[in-house]
């Protein structure tokens, strides 16, 4: 990213494993922004990397300013950018809010006698301390790929901050509503009104186009005993998804509980407290087939699942008859636009969908993905958004 001459001019460099390591940290930050709903395209990403290379990659304020100028496409992205930056790079103690963080300008290089002699510093002068930005971001990049079940308390707190910045939007669909546009079909009503306003004189044709709206997303989160190490993180992921609207959340175990209202609280901890009080079957058994039938009979058949993207977050352990789960999955697949299954155990070496419930459900699944880590949840968000086409071909098989 940065040339060797930049260090001589007083600019700090990322103390990571060379430029490639620094690039990996910055690319991880871009992926986190995309998971939070920021439209950080490939062109914006390359502009960000070039801007950081020109500035100082190791300085928090410079990385912040470069990303804010290149990765944000509009006012709606600014709040998401603030949340993700604070969660990914960490907040410095006693620092002012990020938009007003300022660093002193780099000192001008001066030619001194020891510089001419080849000595960059006096014998007693120490290397200036490296800024903590790269270390914080590197630890976050490692955390992205760690199994949630293996995290300690400190790592879980950092994971919760990153999950709070998530956003989950369904794949866009063309709605029946139209809006004025420069291109598209002729809008006869607006065109006639324009002609009448001009007294019948020729006027420019008015046009309109269909409006794209995100599809509804329905999350079914398994809170049974076998999913206990992942349930809290998956519900926090669901809380971030529910903030965006057009998202319904249910917990499944021995009972089906709708928790969309409980997850509407803005504060994640308050939302988790409300969910804990509303869900009566924490760490119990699993009756996926029976509860999926209840969901379809009460909500799905009436319209909640029609044309929606339904995501099941479960390990697939079924206490009841697997044939019932298979039959209900076929019903669900006929109603929904897409059915996605995220299984935390899929990432384990040698995993095969041999559990009876998982094997019965897979023929009706459009995308079978992992759900064990932050990176896996980011990919899940991309699948739901329709941006990850690689997972869509995994229907019915485990790759």
pLDDT range class, residue 351, cuts 50, 70, 90:
confident
Q: Contact 344/368 with Cβ under 8 angstroms? A: no
267-288 tens-digit pLDDT: 899 999 999 999 998 888 889 9
pLDDT range class, residue 109, cuts 50, 70, 90:
very low
What's residue 97's pLDDT?
Answer: 39
pLDDT range class, residue 112, cuts 50, 70, 90:
very low
Average pLDDT for residues 347-372, to the nearest whole number? 89
Query: What's the rounded Cα separation, in Å, for the pair 296 and 320?
Result: 17
Phi, psi at 232, each rounded to 5°: -65, -45
Going from the C-alpha of 259 to that of each of 47, 168, 247, 273, the distances in angstroms are 41, 17, 11, 12
Query: What's the rounded Cα separation, in Å, for the pair 45 and 47?
Result: 5
Q: Find the helix packing angle between 18-35 and 60-70, rounded to 10°.
A: 50
- Token pair, residue 68, equals 């804010």
Query: What's the rounded Cα separation, in Å, for the pair 329 and 292?
Result: 8
What's residue 297's pLDDT?
Answer: 96
What's residue 229's pLDDT?
Answer: 92
What's residue 395's pLDDT?
Answer: 43
What's residue 301's pLDDT?
Answer: 85
**Coil, strand, or helix at residue 132?**
coil
Tell me: pLDDT of 127 over 80.
Answer: no
Average pLDDT for residues 157-167, to the nearest whole number? 86
Mean of pLDDT over the chain = 79
Most confident of 95-109, 288-302, 375-389: 288-302
Average pLDDT for residues 72-80, to the nearest whole number? 83
Q: Residue 312 forms beta bridges with which residues?
A: 220, 341
pLDDT range class, residue 106, cuts 50, 70, 90:
very low
378-395 tens-digit pLDDT: 999 999 988 765 554 344
18-51 tens-digit pLDDT: 455 677 788 888 888 888 888 888 888 888 888 8
What's residue 137's pLDDT?
Answer: 57
What's residue 389's pLDDT?
Answer: 57
Q: Contact 367/341 with Cβ under 8 angstroms? A: yes
Query: What's the rounded Cα separation, in Å, for the pair 124 and 330?
Result: 74
Residue-wise burial string across 163-175, b where 16 or more C-beta atoms lie within 10 A, e elsewhere: bbbbbbbbbeeee
Lowest mean per-residue pLDDT among 98-102, 126-130, 228-232, 302-306? 98-102
User: Between these two residues, 112 and 247, which has the higher pLDDT value?
Assistant: 247
């Amino acid at each position: 990213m940065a040339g060797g001459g930049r260090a001589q001019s007083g600019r700090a460099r990322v103390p990571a494993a060379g430029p490639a390591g620094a690039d990996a940290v910055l690319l991880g930050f871009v992926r986190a922004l995309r998971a939070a709903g920021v439209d950080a395209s490939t062109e914006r990403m390359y502009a960000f990397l070039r801007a950081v290379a020109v500035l100082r990659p190791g300085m928090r304020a410079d990385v912040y300013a470069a990303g804010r100028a290149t990765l944000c496409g509009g006012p709606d992205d600014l709040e998401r950018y603030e949340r993700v930056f604070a969660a990914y790079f960490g907040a410095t103690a006693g620092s002012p809010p990020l938009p007003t963080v300022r660093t002193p300008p780099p000192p001008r290089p001066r030619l001194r006698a020891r510089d001419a002699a080849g000595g960059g510093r006096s014998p007693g002068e120490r290397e200036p301390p490296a800024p903590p930005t790269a270390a914080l971001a590197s630890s976050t990049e490692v955390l992205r790929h760690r199994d949630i079940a293996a995290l300690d308390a400190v790592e879980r707190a950092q994971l919760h901050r990153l999950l709070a910045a998530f956003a989950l939007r369904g794949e866009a669909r063309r709605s029946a509503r139209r809006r004025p546009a420069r291109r598209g079909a002729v809008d006869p009503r607006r065109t006639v009104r324009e002609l009448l306003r001009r007294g019948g004189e020729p006027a420019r044709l008015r046009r309109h186009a269909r409006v794209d709206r995100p599809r509804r997303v329905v999350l079914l989160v398994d809170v049974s005993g076998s999913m206990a190490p992942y349930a809290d993180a998956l519900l926090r992921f669901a809380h971030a998804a529910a903030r965006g609207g057009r998202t319904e959340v249910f917990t499944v175990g021995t009972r089906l509980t709708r928790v969309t209202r409980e997850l509407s609280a803005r504060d994640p901890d308050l939302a988790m407290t409300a969910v804990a009080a509303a869900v009566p079957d924490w760490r119990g058994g699993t009756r996926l087939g029976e509860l999926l039938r209840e969901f379809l009979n009460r909500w799905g058949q009436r319209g909640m699942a029609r044309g929606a993207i339904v995501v099941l977050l479960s390990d697939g352990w079924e206490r009841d008859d697997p044939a019932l789960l298979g039959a209900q999955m076929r019903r669900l697949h006929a109603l929904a636009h897409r059915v996605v299954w995220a299984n935390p155990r899929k990432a384990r070496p040698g995993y095969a969908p041999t559990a009876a419930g998982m094997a019965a459900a897979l023929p009706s699944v459009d995308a079978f993905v992992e759900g064990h880590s932050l990176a896996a949840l980011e990919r899940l968000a991309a699948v739901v958004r329709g941006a990850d086409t690689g997972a869509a071909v995994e229907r019915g098989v485990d790759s």
